[in-house]
Copies of this chain bind each other. A is one copy, B any other.
Amino acid sequence: MLNFLFNVKSVAVIGASQDPMKIGHAIMENVLGTGFSGKIYPINPANKEIMGLRCYMNVTEVKDSIDLVVIALPASRSVEALSQCVEAKVKCVIIVAGGFSELGGEGRALQDQINEMIKGTQTRVIGPNTVGVLFPYSNLNTALTPKERIYYPGRGEIAFISQSGALGLLTMDSITEYDLGISGFVNIGNRTDIDESDLLQAFSEDIHTKSIAVYLESVSDGNKFYEIVKRVNLKKPVVVLKTGRSEASSRAASFHTGALASDDRVIDGILKQAGVQRALDEVDLIDYGKALAYGKPLKGKRIAIITTAGGAGVVTTDLLTSNEYGPALDLTKFNDTETAEMKKAVLPFASVANPIDLTADGNVDTYEIILDVISKSGNVDGIIAYALPQTPKIDLGIVDVLSKYARNKPMVVGVIGNRLAKDVLRELEKKRIPAYPSISRSVKAMKVLYNYGHFLNRRGVP
């Protein structure tokens, strides 16, 4: 029902402004500056033209049908503006302003007016109290932060639903570092109408979306959420960062988005039951989303590690096999044939016991030989490979080799360092290989692939 959001043809901005200090200015700049090819209607009775576009008095004045309206006005005037939109049969309205239910009392009453107004109509509402939406595949960006302050991600395979606007924007800015893209971002804010469950459903049907990351401070409707998330997670893996574990953080959340933080134990039970991975912070949330979008679920616990830095292999083993600090996975034992084949390819100093340490002499060709043995092995369920361009014989050619073998077996790649390492990470991103800039982030990604694979196994999903 909300799938039209992924392919909006026309946008109006009520409160569009020439004044760079106004939010209606930044939103117009983002809508115009992201290459949106649909129709754009600035709405502001005080202007005849904004940014080279004809400006309208009112949404109802536009003769075209409008898919999406962004209302960039203060709270009380937003409700008035919404009534124009309902009249004009707009499909979806984003209400940016805060000052609604998160303030309680009068704000709550104002928010109730929104619900009254759209009841029984075809108009749906995102927000209020939202920074907007981003849909890179249709070049649509209605966010309120100007591009000078933030980088917005391009096209990718992770959908991102966030109850918090600022944290959503900050997280998107962060992930652009390694050119990570998204399939869409929606800040649901006070979610008086469209909520996380509606969007889970919509993104589960979106062709570009491979996994869904969700930031929540509370759940809008527990039963609805459970019914939808358990179905969606079987089709497209879902990761949830849900706060409110402690009384202190529930209180903080209630000040923030006005939501009564649902009892965390109930939500935790729902997520466990639905096989949904839970993230602890904004980095985990996207890291896990990436692992599940790009990686293959593990069918078993036996991992092979390959590295040119022995210490990285040792620390990886330590975390990977720990049941206290890690996922308690196992290191594969290679059989004699496998060991002999690998021994032929490496220098005498190198170790082909697991972790396989090629030492600083390891080169891309040796990686290929070793990965060939590993990927054919019946003793290996998943691979953690390090791609370390600081060692003299590793160059960007490692990316092609890794991507070839990542098609056969679940693989996570660790890349540690600054300039050259970032180049490698960006190339791996282009190939959609789950790659991470630290050991523990790599191990956690493998944990998530294991957990999701284990969940699918239990459900009998092949």
A residues in contact (CB < 8 Å) with B: 98-99, 103, 145-146, 149-151, 162-171, 173-174, 176-177, 215, 217, 241, 243-246, 248-249, 251-253, 255-257, 280-284, 308-315, 317-319, 321-322, 324-325, 330-331, 349, 351, 353-355, 357, 359-360, 388-392, 416-421, 437-440
Contacts and interface: CB of A to CB of B under 8 A. Distances in A.
A25 to B, nearest CB: 11
A170 B312 contact: yes
Given A174-B416, A311-B215, A353-B251, A319 B280 contact: yes
B170 A417 contact: yes
B325 A177 contact: no
A177 B315 CA distance: 22
Given A174-B437, A318-B249, A417-B174, A390 B145 contact: yes
23 contacts: A98-B349, A103-B349, A150-B417, A166-B309, A166-B310, A166-B391, A169-B390, A170-B309, A170-B390, A171-B416, A174-B418, A174-B437, A243-B317, A243-B318, A244-B314, A245-B322, A246-B317, A246-B318, A249-B318, A255-B357, A256-B357, A280-B325, A282-B438
A3 to B, nearest CB: 27
B417 A173 contact: yes
Contacts of A311: 162-168, 215, 217, 256
Contact of A310 (B174, B255, B354): B255
A245 B167 contact: no
A361 to B, nearest CB: 10
A360 to B, nearest CB: 7
B166 A308 contact: yes
Nearest to A98: B349
A218 to B, nearest CB: 10
Given A98-B349, A150-B417, A164 B251 contact: no
A315 B167 contact: yes
B256 A310 contact: yes
A87 B437 CA distance: 46
B281 A315 contact: yes
A162 to B, nearest CB: 8
A253 B317 CA distance: 9
Nearest to A173: B417
A176 B420 contact: no
B313 A256 contact: yes
A170 B359 CA distance: 13
B257 A310 contact: yes
A256 to B, nearest CB: 4
